[in-house]
Amino acid sequence: MSSVLQQVRKGLDTLPDPAVELTWNQLLTGYYEKTGQLALQLQSFKKYIALQDSLTNRQQELAQADIGR
């Protein structure tokens, strides 16, 4: 894994942020694709999709709660 991605991962481990985690998984997926590590690419892509779905659901819940006021 590139040193830049490793540094971002360390930052996420220290200060978690779901939006940054989503971007990190997207970048990691691209990195694995470009380096021909297709099994790892698939793993990181699945994590990306799961987190994206989770964030989308959370946003929808917050919007519904706000509408319900």
The CA-to-CA distance between both ends of the chain, in Å, stands at 46
pLDDT number for residue 48: 97
pLDDT number for residue 35: 95
Q: Which backbone phi and psi does 16 adopt, to 5 degrees? A: -60, 140
Among the listed residues 16, 40, 11, the one whose alpha carbon sits nearest the alpha carbon of residue 28: 40
Domain ranges across the chain: 3-67
Contact 24, 5 (CB under 8 A): yes
**Residue 8 three-state SS:** helix
Predicted TM-score of the model (pTM): 0.78
pLDDT number for residue 27: 93
Provide the mean pLDDT of the chain. 90
User: Inter-axis angle of helices 38-67 and 18-34, to 10 degrees?
Assistant: 160
